[in-house]
Amino acid sequence: MQQIIIKDNEAGQRLDKMLAKYLNEAPKSFLYKMLRKKNITLNGKKAAGNEKLVSGDEVKLFLSDETIARFSSSLVQYTKEKLDILYEDENILLINKPAGMLSQKAVDSDESVVEHLITYLLTSGQLSEQDLKTFKPSVCNRLDRNTSGMIAAGKSLKGLQELSRLFKDRTLGKYYLCLAAGNITEPSRIQGYLAKDEKTNQVTVRTVKTDGADPIETEYRPLKADGDVTLLEVHLITGKTHQIRAHLASVGHPVIGDYKYGNRNVNDSYRKAYGLEHQLLHAYRLIFPELKGALSNLSQKEFIAPLTKEFCEIAADKGVL
Residue 12 identity: G
Please say whether the beta carbons of 315 and 232 come within 8 A: no
Give CA 301 to chain center in angstroms.
Answer: 19
Residue 144 catalytic?
A: yes
Domains of the chain as residue ranges with CATH: 2-70 (3.10.290.10), 85-168 (3.30.2350.10), 173-317 (3.30.2350.10)
- Backbone CA torsion sign across 62, 65, 66, 72: positive
pLDDT digit string (tens) for the chain, length 321 residues: 899 999 888 888 899 999 998 998 999 999 999 999 999 999 999 999 999 999 999 999 999 989 998 998 866 889 999 999 999 999 999 999 999 999 998 888 889 999 999 999 999 999 988 888 888 999 999 999 999 999 999 999 999 999 999 999 989 999 999 999 999 999 999 998 998 888 888 888 888 888 888 999 999 999 999 989 999 999 999 988 899 999 999 999 999 999 999 999 999 999 999 999 999 999 999 999 999 988 999 999 999 999 999 999 999 999 999
DSSP 215: E
Burial class (CB in 10 A: 0-12, 13-18, 19+), 308: middle
Q: How far is 43 from 248, CA to CA, in rounded Å?
A: 58
Q: How far is 4 from 11, CA to CA, in rounded Å?
A: 12
Q: How far is 313 from 319, CA to CA, in rounded Å?
A: 10
Q: Which pTM value belongs to this model?
A: 0.86
Choice among 57, 108, 144, 228 that is catalytic: 144
Burial class (CB in 10 A: 0-12, 13-18, 19+), 185: exposed
Give CA 45 to chain center in angstroms.
Answer: 40
Contacts of 104 (CB under 8 A, 6+ apart): 112, 113, 114, 138, 139, 142
